[in-house]
Amino acid sequence: MSAEVRESPPQGRLTNGLIDVSAWLVYAFLYLPLVVVVLYSFNGDSINSWPIHHLSFDAYRTLANDAELTQSIQNSLYVSTIAVGSAVVLGTAAALGFQILRVPGKELFNFTVVLPIVLPGIVTGIAMLTLFTDLNYDLSLTTIIAGHITFCIVLVFNSVRARLTRVPPHLAEAARDLGAGPLRTFWFIILPSIRTAVISGTLLAFTLSFDEVVVSFFLAGRQNTLPLEIWSRLRRSTITPELNAAATLLIAVSVVLVLAARLLTREE
């Protein structure tokens, strides 16, 4: 009798089976193309062909010797580092101001800060392109950085703000009662409490900035970031092994940073 109670009915087993199959199909749809790109990056042939006849690191050696691709990687690292560094300062300051200050219009402020990441990238790109054109400012890596800061701030702001809601306000009040100034209170009380949130927001912002295409497309001058360089080459020719190698690097950077941010979030 007890065995009959524990045993799932046929309809339940069928439903669970369909859910499992559906989940695997979704995973395959999402990640199989990425696996194919990674595999092709180790293809020893000069063109993509399936099945792969032999594995080789030739694509990565070609990538390392390609001046334009290596320069675009350096440009992406430069853009992401400056944009994310600026976003960390501005986003953390905005989150602190939103949490501490008691002024009217805070929800409107929150809406305006989050809006850039809600808007389609093409809207942000066109808006900023119009601004720089009206100012007669030449497009360059600097304009790309300005565009990236707009949405990187949102990730840092949301991450830090969510953590600040869990920080007991009496800690800062006690520090001030003991004679600590605003800077010492922030450095020794608030910052240790939000450190992992700042780091996770930084990692997610860097991931988004490093992979960004649409906003960069509108704001780029003569210097390309890595995603733009891959896009421009795809428009001129077919996918070559070194492009698969460059795409694999993008995938690796994104996976590592997202996993690191996820681990930091789970530790809290």
- Tell which residue, 204, 231, 199, has the closest CA to residue 117: 204
Residue 75 sits in the same domain as residue 146: yes
**In 165-240, alpha helices (H):** 169-177, 182-185, 191-211, 214-219, 226-236
Residue 14 sits in the same domain as residue 119: no
pTM of the model: 0.77
Q: Is 175 part of any domain?
A: yes
The interaxial angle of helices 58-65 and 67-100, nearest 10 deg, is: 80
The torsion defined by the Cα of 191, 192, 198 and 203, in degrees rounded to 10, comes to 140
Can you give the pLDDT at residue 259? 82
Q: Is 19 part of any domain?
A: yes
d(CA 268, CA 194): 10
Q: Is the dihedral of CA 114, 132, 216, 226 positive or negative?
A: negative
Residue 72 sits in the same domain as residue 9: no
d(CA 156, CA 205): 7
Residue 218 sits in the same domain as residue 95: yes
Q: Is 118 part of any domain?
A: yes
Residue 149 sits in the same domain as residue 237: yes
User: What Å distances lie between residue 18 and 24, 32, 237, CA to CA?
Assistant: 10, 20, 42
Residue 103 sits in the same domain as residue 179: yes
Q: Is 251 part of any domain?
A: yes
In the block, tokens 């300005």 appear at 146
- Domain around 119: 67-267
Q: Is 115 part of any domain?
A: yes
By three-state DSSP, how is residue 44 classified?
A: coil
User: What Å distances lie between residue 124 and 146, 150, 199, CA to CA?
Assistant: 11, 9, 26
Residue 36 sits in the same domain as residue 119: no
Residue 29 sits in the same domain as residue 74: no
Give burial (CB, 10 Å; 0-12/13-18/19+) of 83.
buried
Q: How many domains does the chain have?
A: 2
Q: Is 60 part of any domain?
A: no
Residue 22 sits in the same domain as residue 114: no
d(CA 32, CA 36): 6
The answer to whether the CB of 91 falls within 8 A of the CB of 157 is yes
Can you give the pLDDT at residue 211? 85
Tens of pLDDT along the chain (268 residues) come to: 444 445 556 666 767 777 878 888 888 888 788 888 888 778 766 666 677 667 778 788 888 888 888 898 899 999 999 999 999 999 988 888 887 777 676 777 777 777 877 788 888 889 999 999 999 999 999 999 999 999 899 989 988 888 888 777 767 667 776 677 777 777 777 777 788 888 888 888 988 898 888 899 999 888 889 888 888 877 776 677 778 888 888 888 888 887 887 776 665 5
Residue 90 sits in the same domain as residue 33: no
Can you give the pLDDT at residue 260? 80
Q: Is 13 part of any domain?
A: yes
Q: Is 182 part of any domain?
A: yes
